[in-house]
């Protein structure tokens, strides 16, 4: 099934060819992602300048405001305007928001690149009730195989994070960016614009399962979070508190579950699952 949204590795705006030398002193040419500044305004107030590959500015802006708690799910957005020349995006709401109060209180998170959360990081976290979605391990293996065979900027150029919104064993939306928080926010923005239900979805990321990733996933109302990377202790603690299923170190037939294991149905023999491709292992080792 074709994805509703996915990156285009052939888009010349997203990567650049750069010359250099390798470990043997040989001249080489390689692709690297291009990052650009995007300044976000909310109702005329400058909020932040983000470094991004700038492929989905409207979704990124809306998702950022939602995930930082500067907009609430019920706030009516009257317009999102992007000026490509100025690299500015303006989000407008039909009624005033309380974002000024959020700007006065900041928490620095462990997100790579720009990782500042405005307002109370845990605001509304305890009130979220995640649905009892179940996941068959056979479906998880099929999903991981599909994700690993997608044409992505990660395989083209590395130095980038990917996130996917999935249902059962199918990825629906795949977003990439230089920071994992950007990729998450793009999907959150897309879900809001499409009025997409979250309770029957899975979220996949190539990034670490930190407190920030857990909080954003819970705020989006998605009950299962999956990563090819590892965990932080606070990320695990928050996932257990929220009832989020946390699956990490997903590579080939291997994975670890440190929270919410009750949602999993073990119906597959790992011995029958192929290991991750050499290309993925090589690219991951280069970026690590």
Whole-structure pTM value: 0.87
Q: How far is CA 116 from CA 90, 180, 195, in A?
A: 19, 13, 26
* Angle, helix 211-220 to helix 57-67, in steps of 10 degrees: 100
Q: Which of 114-118, 234-238, 274-278 has the weakest average pLDDT?
A: 114-118
Show me where the domains of the chain are located: 135-287
CATH of domain 135-287: 3.40.140.10
**Mean pLDDT calculated for residue range 228-242:** 95
Q: Are 207 and 107 in contact (CB under 8 A)?
A: no
The alpha carbons of the chain give a radius of gyration, in whole angstroms, of 19
- The backbone torsions φ and ψ at residue 161, rounded to the nearest 5 degrees and listed phi first, read -110, 150
pLDDT digits over 23-45, tens only?
999 999 998 999 999 999 999 88
**Mean pLDDT calculated for residue range 45-65:** 94
The size of the chain, in residues, is 288
Q: Is the pLDDT of residue 120 over 60?
A: no
Query: What value does the mean pLDDT of the chain take?
Result: 87
Give the model's pLDDT for residue 118.
Answer: 45
Q: Are 99 and 45 in contact (CB under 8 A)?
A: yes
DSSP code at position 231: B
């Amino acid at each position: 099934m074709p994805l509703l949204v996915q990156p285009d590795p052939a888009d010349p705006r997203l990567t650049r060819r750069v010359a250099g030398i390798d470990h043997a002193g040989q001249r080489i040419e390689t692709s690297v992602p291009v990052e650009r500044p995007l300044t976000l305004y909310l109702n005329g107030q400058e909020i932040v300048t983000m470094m991004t590959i700038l492929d989905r500015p409207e979704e990124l802006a809306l998702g950022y405001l939602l995930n930082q708690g500067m907009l609430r799910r019920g706030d009516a957005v009257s317009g999102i305007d992007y000026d490509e020349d100025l690299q500015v995006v303006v989000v407008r709401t039909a009624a005033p928001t309380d974002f000024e109060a959020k700007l006065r209180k900041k928490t620095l998170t462990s997100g790579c690149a720009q990782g500042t959360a405005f307002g109370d990081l845990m605001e509304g976290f305890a009130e979220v009730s995640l649905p009892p979605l179940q996941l068959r391990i056979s479906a998880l293996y099929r999903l991981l195989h599909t994700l690993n065979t997608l044409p992505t900027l990660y395989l083209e150029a590395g130095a980038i994070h990917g996130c996917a919104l999935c249902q059962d064993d199918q990825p629906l939306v795949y977003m990439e960016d230089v920071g994992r928080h950007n990729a998450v926010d793009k999907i959150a923005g897309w879900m809001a614009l499409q009025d997409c239900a979250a309770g029957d979805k899975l979220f996949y990321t190539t990034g670490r399962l930190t407190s920030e990733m857990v909080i954003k996933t819970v705020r989006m109302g998605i009950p299962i979070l999956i990563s090819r990377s590892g965990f932080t202790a606070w990320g695990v603690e928050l996932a257990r508190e929220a009832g989020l299923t946390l699956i990490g170190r997903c590579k080939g037939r291997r994975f670890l579950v440190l929270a919410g294991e009750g949602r999993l149905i073990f119906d597959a023999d790992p011995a029958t699952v192929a290991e991750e491709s050499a290309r993925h292992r090589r690219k991951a080792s280069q970026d690590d």
